[in-house]
Structure 1
Amino acid sequence: MYLDKAKIRQSFAAASVTYDGVAELQRTVGKALLGTIDTESLRGPLLDLGCGTGFLSAKLLAFAQPVIALDMALPMLQVTRTKLADMPNVTYLCADAEQLPLAGQIVDGVFSNLALQWCINLDVVFTDIKRVLKPGGRLVFSTFGPQTLQELKAAWADVDDYNHVNDFYSEQQLTHFLQLAGYTEIKIETRLYRSSYGSVLALMKELKHIGAHNMIAGRNKNITTKTQMQRMIAAYERHRTSDRIPATYEAIMVTAS
């Protein structure tokens, strides 16, 4: 899987203003992720990897301090800094999760909520995270699984053979990457979430507002025509029930040490 990191950074930077208004799923998954661990046992410092607009950082601060809030998109980080202005024990770091500018063994936990799916080489990412974790530290993260947006993928498949929707790693692939990086205690839980929208265009608008519209490098370089878009929408409309169209999101939640 190859992703265009420059486009990802630009996309999330542009979405910083609209993100919180449409990121209900991200907040729901973030709460579920914290529910998979004993938060009372947390101790700092903690790293929030791909912090976005700071939802998970704020939650973590209630359990342990200090927290390092890291994101590759500076506007996202600036929103987080504004939100957490009254919290003194936060360090803000604009950096790529694939190139952590941190010393070894400095954090007790690394948390990441729906961000690692934008990384290209997860085995390298997991290895670097293990480097910054103290002995006995944990990696706790959520990421999208391959069933995510399956309805949108199927609708585009009726139109052409290009990738219009990002591909996501499976449980088995994530486990393999974690094992390669040296993690031995791995727990995985998968949950399906289904959202509904008044129209296909409403779904696509939401994806744009959270910065998660298609960012696959090497996809069809031609501009999607109006006819192609209409064919995709017509194919998607077959899923409509009770005046709403569904969208599936598969969230894979992992704890590893």
Structure 2
Amino acid sequence: MASAIDNVNKKAVASAFSRAATSYDTFAVLQREVGEYLLGRGAYHPGKSVLDAGCGTGYFSRRWRELGKQVTALDLAPGMLAFARQQQAADHYLLADIEHIPLSTASVDISFSSLAMQWCSDLPRALAELHRVTRPGGLILFSTLAEGTLHELGDAWQQVDGERHVNDFLPLMKISSACRHYRHHLESAWQTLTYPDVMTLMRSLKGIGATHLHQGREVGLLSRQRFAALQDAYASLCGQLPLSYHLVYGVIYRD
């Protein structure tokens, strides 16, 4: 399918995020900002039941509960779900894939998925599943990453060894196409983080579990020489290393 990302090894993705469960919240500054904005798009909704699809550590499961909602937390990574459970982040927990949600049709009022759907193999299927489990009158809220994300890191790696070593993300047009069957609203924005050096930048990516490459391998330990080469190749901005994210926010109205 045109809107699919080939060769996503879900087991490897789950392992990478499981390993990052205890460090994730320390590094997830951008993730919290994005999730708060997305949550704000549905906080007014009167529905009581929320599915947090790709819940991670359960940070936004807790935020939804603070708003008086009953929350089901779903994640592909056992380590993340266990961490969320330890934090008593939700009312119910599901170890599952967004593309195969083990909930009955029309069982929640709001489906919320922040910065998880870029790890799906098939975005239209994932959206169809969220649509299926959401009741008429409800909302599907999602954020994801689009083409161009991490381009500075990819460009630097290209100079080092001819490979980009970053994931390919769907073009905005394909994300829009995946939503075309639903009444929806999409918006996109760019956000750039900066780091003092390559080691700090790579540590932040590892800290949020974003080390698995769609091509089926992980960015492994780097030698001092590789770090130095990457540092030299990275285009700095006023002495800082920029890392950009192409963010997409979506609201689907469940008619």
Give the TM-score taking structure 2 as reference length.
0.89
Shift of 1:229: 4.8
Deviation readout 1:53-99 (Å, 9 max, x if unpaired): 111111112334211110111221122122236x6xx1111111121
Q: Which residue of the other structure, out of 39, 61, 65, is the alignment partner of 1:61? A: 65
Per-residue deviation, 1:218: 5.0
Amino acid at match of 1:33: L
**Gap regions ≥5 residues in structure 2:** none
Cα distance change, pair 221–108 in 1 and its aligned pair in 2 (3 A): closer
Q: Which moved more, 1:127-136 or 1:66-75?
A: 127-136
Q: Quick check: 1:163–1:220 contact (8 Å CA) kept in 2?
A: no
Q: Structure 1's 221 and 57: CA in aligned 2 closer, same or farther, altered over 3 A?
A: closer
Instruction: Indicate the larger mover: 101-110 or 158-167.
Output: 158-167
Q: Percent identity?
A: 35
- Which of 27, 30, 37 lines up with 1:32 in the alignment? 37
Helix, strand or coil at the partner of 1:69: strand
The match for 2:241 is 245
Please state whether the residue corresponding to 2:30 is helix, strand or coil.
Answer: helix
Asked if structure 1 preserves the Cα contact closer than 8 Å seen for 2:18 and 2:79, the reply is yes
Structure-1 residue corresponding to 2:11? 6
Contact 2:155 2:164 in 1 (8 A): no
Taking a change above 3 Å as real, the CA distance of residues 225 and 79 of structure 1, as seen in their structure-2 partners, is closer
The residue that corresponds to 1:92 in the other structure is 93
Structure 1 residues 233 and 254, CA gap change in structure 2 (3 angstroms): same
Contact 2:12 2:212 survives alignment (8 Å): no
TM-score where L is the length of structure 1: 0.88
1:224 CA displacement:
7.2
Paired residues for 1:170-185 under 5 Å? 170-179=171-180, 182-183=181-182, 185=183
C-alpha separation in 1, matches of 2:99 and 2:204: 27
Task: Give per-residue Cα distances to partners, 1:185-224, cap 9 Å, x unaligned.
Answer: 2111222222111101111111011100242225699997
Q: How does 1:106-125 map to 2 (within 5 A)?
A: 106-125=107-126
| Matched position secondary structure for 1:40 | coil
Aligned-CA RMSD value: 2.3
**C-alpha contact (below 8 Å) 2:211/2:218 kept by paired residues:** no
Deviates more, 1:22-31 or 1:126-135: 126-135
Q: Please give the alpha-carbon distance, in whole angstroms, between the structure 1 residues aligned to 2:92 and 2:143.
A: 22
AA partner of residue 82 (structure 1): Q
In structure 2, the residue matched to 1:20 is 25
User: Which of 175, 197, 200 matches 2:198?
Assistant: 200
In structure 1, how many angstroms separate the alpha carbons of the residues matched to 2:72 and 2:30? 23
Partner of 1:186: 184
After TM superposition, list the pairs within 5 Å mapping 1:102-251 onto structure 2: 102-179=103-180, 182-183=181-182, 185-217=183-215, 229-236=227-234, 238-241=235-238, 243-251=239-247
Bigger CA drift: 4-13 or 74-83? 74-83
- CA drift of 1:108 comes to 1.1
Structure 1 residues 61, 218: CA separation in 2 closer, same or farther (over 3 Å shift)?
A: closer
User: Gaps spanning 5+ residues in structure 1: where?
Assistant: none
User: For 2:87 and 2:159, how far apart are their aligned partners in 1?
Assistant: 43
Match for residue 78 of structure 2? 74
Deviation of the 1:161 alpha carbon: 3.9
Count of residue pairs brought into register by the alignment: 248
CA drift at 1:162 = 2.9
Rounded to whole Å, the distance in 2 between the matches of 1:116 and 1:139 is: 13
* Residue deviations 1:14-36 (CA, integer Å, cap 9, x gap): 0001111111111111111123x
Q: Which runs of 4+ in 1 moved over 4 A?
A: 218-229
1:46 has 2:43 as partner: no
CA contact (8 A) 1:46 1:64 kept: no
Deviation at 1:136, TM superposition (A): 2.5
